[in-house]
Structure 1
Amino acid sequence: MVLVFALGYAGIIFEESLAFNKSGVGLLMAVCLWVIRSIGAPSTDVAVQELSQSTAEVSEIVFFLLGAMTIVEIVDSHQGFKLVTDNISTRNPKTLLWVIGFVTFFLSSVLDNLTSTIVMVSLLRKLVPPSEYRKLLGAVVVIAANAGGAWTPIGDVTTTMLWIHGQITTLKIMQGLFVPSVVSLMVPLALMSLTSEANGSSQTSSSLLSSEQMAPRGQLVFAVGLGALVFVPVFKSLTGLPPFMGMLLGLGILWILTDAIHYGESGRQRLKVPQALSRIDTQGILFFLGILLSVGSLEAAGILRQLANYLDANIPNADLIASIIGVASAIIDNVPLVAATMGMYDLTSFPQDSDFWQLVAFCAGTGGSMLIIGSAAGVAFMGMEKVDFFWYFRKVSGFALAGYVAGIITYLAGQNIPLSLPTSLADIPFITGS
């Protein structure tokens, strides 16, 4: 099974060279691994039971992603994000660097790092002409999107995985990782501000931005869509049901709303949910499905537990293990890394909201910024702006590494300094819900 997983993983890593789509490789790998598991299991019934349990866990994440991506696509099709982009008016290159960074950071904390990257890179195309400076701003978007997604349960798919499966809770992850995430962004921003690209003459141009008009009732769709995303943790806290149910509730409300406001408008079908569903990254969702099912097979076979025992015996420091996971996520996709970690260590080894799980969330979320292929945000940036691996490695990787290390140091140092919240804030169900 390990050999099949390694071969499948190699196919995913080198998909560009092999011309094989990673989603197809992931699905093929998952099926092959479960076939092998069914042969090696004590009985077929045992393997089927294990597969059913794994599928139930994976489907929660798949449905969550499907709902979230559809909601964001609906808002984007209504040009709802113009409410954010229209307020970016600075023409100073250094100031714009920081503005883009923090807008992306907070946008990613509510949406997800991939969607935030797509939105912000699209914005940069309208703000800045093609140049080294625009590439640098795009790199800032990648770093900020990954940092912003690490400190909320819905900002990054790996953090969402940990949240859905109970390793972290909303309040604790926001308390524990907000400051380290900010530091992991501010350090690269400060270093990038010293580069020649960030100290050149103004290159911004807002003429293209004004040419795009928001769709009718776009502000309403933006408000409802954003509210639906933010309401998910509240729903989980109030009902105790899995987060994907809250996401599907929000999607259902937005679906009915868009059908109502565009009733009888045959020329606006692209603004409705059926058209949005045709535009979302379905192959990305299938990739997650294949990877998570593959990792589930390794967990069912006990391979991940053996790996955990090996790491415990040879690397007794849990913080170091989490840090290594982050570095590895710059080379290997962080989704299977976190999925494997969840299979290696259960809640009896490290309780809910322990330092280990929080550090895993931070490291897996931000470590991918060190290489352009290390995160979905980086891959999206590479495809949209035609940035090559070695440009990013020369110009950005060092800055991202500095931010990564600074964030870890900040987190470890802050464990002895409790972060208190106002009583009124701590009483909100969304904040205190597990």
Structure 2
Amino acid sequence: MQFDGQRALEIVRRLTVEVGCRFAGTDNERRAAEILRDEIAAHGYADARLDPFPIDLYEVADERLEVEGLGEVPCEGLLGSEDAPDGVSGPLVYVEGGEECHLGEHCRGAILLVNAELGRKIEAIRRWQPAGVVVLETTPHLNPRRHNIGHEARRRFGTLPAVRVRHDVTERLVGFRGRSARLSLRSTYRESQAYNVMAELPGTTHPDEIVVVCGHMDSTYDGPGTLDNAAGTAVVWELARVFRQLGSRRTLRFIAFSGEEQGLRGSIHYAKRLRKEDKEAKKDKNFVATGGKTELDRHRLVVNIDVQGALIASNGAWITGPKDLGAAVRLLAAESGPFFTVHEACYSSDNAPLSDAGVPAVSFGRGGPNNFYGHTDGDVFELCSAEGLEISGRFIQEYIRRYIASPAMLPFPREIPDEHAEHVKNYFKERFMLRLDEGVED
């Protein structure tokens, strides 16, 4: 039984052509989740199910930017921006990357031009009460991306009207600084529901040892998210088909997470549930004294699969955990190919919340020139190939078979070196302004 690239490619087609954009919390995302549930159930996973979780859903209905002497400038509203249906006006002021050294009284009441993502910079920017912000796209030849003003930044610091413009108009806009501009934006916000999809292959001899094999099935607001990450999800789902036939000594839990593109919402929800149950169970001193194990304790490893499917590409593996995880990748690559570059780092995806809870992880990615289109409307089905999927898929299949599914004893200890753990904590602190160990409520 071998990983079949054509089968995986058909899953990619269904997610990206049949469904299209799968922004978490939308009807399309729910439709994609149901397709994946039914697909894996058809391979004998009777427990295939949707795992719902709450999510904030921002959608932009209309946006407009007009500049004196330049006229209307095409733009895209940023998700999570403050609504400004009647428009705001002010002079254009260029503040480079929005660092505090570029801010001051000259920003008050102005439309700021910023050549960087807002993120936590929005705190310092809002302090000077600008009328609005225009984010300048820094990558040439791409349509402007509607990146979120992150959930945590919005809740902690507030927001303001913000749009994004293409790179090819940025220098013209900066050349018009000091001129009057008007920005209008109509957006909606509602509490919605998104869905992780999961199914489990019980272990034959070690069912209490759980290995999560996962990838995210959602896309950004802007496009179909083919390489990132319909292709990674397809690899996970084809591996589920293969191991249903091959079997595994320990339990393999296959998960298509959602909300990754909105800040790892689905995997944070999953990890928080495990942490909450773990915390409650361990309040019972008898449970601890008798060596009881919670579901979190039973999680031994995460295999995360993100950004796949390109034919012209190179392979990488990112390790958060014992060095043997990376050594096994190098050994298998040296024996049979393809070549992998191994990094000891916290990969920025759904592996991270479980690693923050103490579960080691290996993340597989395949990067090439077509990754340039990630998070844009250019990440289309035509970029993906059956051969590209098969290159990674067969390697990961053998990695799982050799080191996870077949051994009498899992060769990787459930431990994360201190420097890796610190890297994960800093990742959540700097990128998301979160500490996942502070409380367990959603």
Bigger fraction of residues in helix: 1
Question: Which is bigger in relative contact order (C-alpha 8 A, separation at least 6)?
Answer: 1
Q: Fold conserved (TM > 0.5)?
A: no
Bigger fraction of residues in strand: 2
Q: TM-score, normalised by structure 2?
A: 0.30
Q: TM-score, normalised by structure 1?
A: 0.31
Rg (Cα) greater in structure: 2
